[in-house]
Amino acid sequence: MIKVGTDIVTISRIEKSLDTFGECFKAKFLNPSEMTLAQKPERIAGFWAAKEAISKAIGCGIGKELSFHDITIAKDAKGSPYFTLSQNAQKIHAIDSSSLSISHDGGFAIAVAVVVLGIL
């Protein structure tokens, strides 16, 4: 089964949270490897949107079945984003393959995730 999820966020919303909560805000939803990749507010916003889009594509949202930290976003050799799930989350959601796109412009960050879910 092929599923699609998308999310959009204003970069200013992320900037406000960074100003208010600093590193604690980033630690709430980014894994250590992601903190290295996401230094600028627009990229942090893109990672936020990506994790929300991934959870929507899977069909559970962020919560009990899938936390922000169950999702790790990385970049391939060409700089294209991709994601992996924690071992436990992968067992629950059985993703066979996936694709991720992240973009930002005009004060917004948007992400689209496509997943192919296996049959459990």
Q: What is the value of pTM for the model shown?
A: 0.94
Active site residues: 56, 104
Domains plus CATH for the chain? Answer: 2-117 (3.90.470.20)
Averaged pLDDT for residues 23-36:
94
pLDDT of the residue at 119: 66
Q: At 109, phi and psi to the nearest 5?
A: -125, 140
State the Cα angle at 80 between 51 and 100, rounded to 5°: 35
pLDDT of the residue at 120: 53
Q: List pLDDT tens digits, range 51-105.
A: 999 999 999 999 989 999 999 999 999 999 999 999 999 999 999 999 999 999 9
